[in-house]
Amino acid sequence: MNILKDTFGRKFPYIRLSISDVCNFKCGYCLPNGYQVDKNDSRKFLHLDEIKRLANCFSELGVNKIRITGGEPTVRKDFFDIIKILKFESGIHNVSITTNGYKLDKKAEQLVNSGLTGINISIDSLDREGFKNITGHDRLPEILNGIEILQSIGFENIKINAVLLNGINSSIKDFNTWAKYIEKNRVDFRYIELMRTGDNLDYFKKYHVSSGIFKEYLKENKWIYQTFGKDAGPSLNYINPKYKGKFGIIAPYSKDFCKSCNRLRITSRGDLRLCLFGNTGINLRHLLQKDDQLNELKDLIMKQMQFKKESHHLELGDTGSTKNLSKTGG
């Protein structure tokens, strides 16, 4: 079996697959004015047959995990069909999603029954008004209720992500609120540093803060850094025996962040993106039309790996071709 590797020796068992760049929330750091149709790109989103061929190809290249992203992936009417194709009609064993949690309380049981193995939910604040101000939607109660339903039917692989925003959710009070939540709930909570994209410079300047403030909080409160293998990805993880859940930090501006990169990205229109903030990539769609194109598709992907850079250059203000995070799945 060919295994996806780059010229720096990194392996890539993990694909982030965007199936839509449409999102029904209006988060200030991503789509503050809501989703806007890109008039310069008339291509439709990947359809089911294309997704199946793509998954089969990556499976033969050693990929064992696909995370479905967006936009908001659950807005697609065939969303559950996509999960089933990935889980049961390809060689992918781990199928997870990243979602804003819209109508999670109504979808929870169907998500579990679909074969999903993990879920990441974006919750930037446990304060109802704060959540509404960030996302433009007053839906925090239904999202938290959805998590309770998932837990009640035995679904355990639940992660919560929050973008760390200076002066909005970055206080000791905020940190304590999350600590109290994961004390009783077996979920992984991670703060993600706000990342600059092509169209959020003013927002970034106003609200970016280093994740070091949260790392210091964890140190002061005796959270223990948890180590994994070198291919485990860039998240820093912390445990405390008094708590059911875990804390984590994703700090893309930190030194050597990219050394543990283990993922590639596919956009909703079939572009292979080697880096979230890179300028290189290629469209694969012309090789997703027939089953007998598999070997040609594999060869193209393998050849592209030589172009993957050692690191992004966010610290220099270089955001690559990423206009906003809904385009490539964040």
Residue 317 has pLDDT above 70, yes or no: no
Q: Of residues 50 and 322, which shows the higher confidence score? A: 50
pLDDT of residue 255: 80
Query: Residue 93 and residue 287: Cα distance in Å, rounded?
Result: 23
Distance of CA 50 to the CA centre of its chain: 21
pLDDT band at 316 (very low <50, low <70, confident <90, very high): low
Q: Per residue in 303-314, pLDDT tens?
A: 999 999 888 867
Q: Which residues of 292-316 are buried (b: 16+ CB within 10 A; e: fewer)?
A: ebeeebbebbeebbeebbebbebee
Architecture of the 14-160+260-316 domain: Alpha-Beta Barrel (3.20)
- pLDDT higher than threshold 90 for residue 228: no
- Residue-level pLDDT at 327: 64
CA angle in degrees (0–180, nearest 5) for 157-246-144: 60
Q: Taking the domains of the chain in order of start, what are their residue ranges?
A: 14-160+260-316
| CA 54 to mean position of chain CA atoms | 19
Distance CA 143, CA 149 (A): 10
DSSP code at position 44: P
Tens of pLDDT along 12-36? 999 999 999 999 999 999 988 888 8
Give the position of tokens 């993106």: 273
Q: Which residues pair with 265 in a beta bridge?
A: 16, 273
186-200 pLDDT, tens digit per residue, is 999 999 999 988 788
- Reduced to 3 states (helix: H, G, I; strand: E, B; else coil), residue 130 is helix
Query: Is the four-CA dihedral 5, 9, 13, 16 of positive or negative sign?
Result: negative
Report residue 279's pLDDT band, with 50, 70 and 90 as the boundaries. confident
Residue type, 116: L
Q: What is the pLDDT at residue 227?
A: 79
pLDDT surpassing 60 at residue 231? no
SS3 94: strand
Return the pLDDT at 229: 59
Read off φ and ψ for residue 30, nearest 5 degrees.
-125, -65
Report pTM.
Answer: 0.93
Contacts of 109 (CB under 8 A, 6+ apart): 149, 153
Q: Is-contact 126 141, C-beta < 8 A?
A: no
Q: How far is CA 124 from the centre of its chain?
A: 14
How high is the mean pLDDT of the chain?
92
